[in-house]
Amino acid sequence: MIASDMFTRFARRMASTQGCPYMVVAETPNPIRDLSPTALRARVEAMLPTIIDGLTLPPAEIERRMRDIVRPQIHPEGVVRSSVPI
């Protein structure tokens, strides 16, 4: 998934409700709306390694790399809510 940094946590929580908590999210700084084509290209090029990893790494490796990142995004400390456990 590709998302701006403002939506990464939301995207992760939504993916976890669908059984994909370790989905790779390529993140870019917000805003992107008024960027020039050159600036957009630079952002895409910066995300390419993450996109390639998401498409080529085995699921077990993605889970290993994402485990410590995912948990606080899906279950922020001090926030109680219904969620799919990971």
pLDDT digits (tens, 9 = 90+) for 37-74: 999 999 999 999 999 999 999 999 999 998 888 888 77
Is 86 in contact with 63 (CB distance < 8 Å)?
no
pLDDT at residue 16 is higher than 80: yes
Band of residue 13 on the pLDDT scale cut at 50, 70, 90: confident
Residue 4: burial class (beta carbons within 10 Å; 0-12, 13-18, 19+): middle
CA distance 42 to 86: 34
CA distance 40 to 80: 37
Please tell me the pTM assigned to this model.
Answer: 0.74
Question: What share of the chain in percent tops pLDDT 70?
Answer: 90
